């Protein structure tokens, strides 16, 4: 799996997560703290080697599970990244 540490939130990046499964226009934010529901707009801060991008996104699939079930079902949010700058897309593809 490709995975990177990111920050995310609604309007500001107040939460930390690991982003994994990085297809060209999205990611899965692995977290037990699912604060947003399907359709919620969020921003994701992605740090590259020399640049940081603040990328707009929409929660497409929120999975909230009890912590005792986290070993069976990955809690988190599938996010469509809607305004992914080309340099950020290139960086994610290089991982």
Output the 3-class SS for the chain. Answer: CCEEEEEEECCCCCEEEEEECCCCCEEEEECCCCCCCCCCEEEEEEECCCCEEEEEEEEEEEECCCHHHCCCCCCEEEEEECCCCHHHHHHHHHC
pLDDT of residue 70: 66
Q: What is the mean pLDDT of residues 20-26?
A: 84
Q: Is the pLDDT of residue 36 over 80?
A: yes
- pLDDT confidence bin for 16, thresholds 50/70/90: very high
pLDDT of residue 1: 61
pLDDT tens, 46-89?
A: 999 999 999 999 999 998 887 777 677 788 999 999 989 999 99
| This prediction's pTM | 0.87
Q: Is the pLDDT of residue 25 over 90?
A: no
């Amino acid at each position: 799996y490709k995975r990177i540490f990111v920050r995310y939130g609604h309007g500001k990046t107040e939460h930390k997560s690991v982003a994994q499964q990085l297809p060209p226009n999205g990611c899965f934010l692995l977290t037990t703290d699912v604060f947003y529901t399907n359709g919620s707009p969020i921003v994701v801060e992605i740090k590259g080697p020399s640049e940081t991008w603040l990328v707009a996104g929409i929660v497409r699939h929120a999975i909230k599970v009890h912590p005792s079930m986290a070993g069976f079902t990955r809690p988190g949010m599938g996010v469509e990244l809607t305004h992914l700058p080309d340099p950020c897309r290139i960086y994610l593809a290089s991982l």
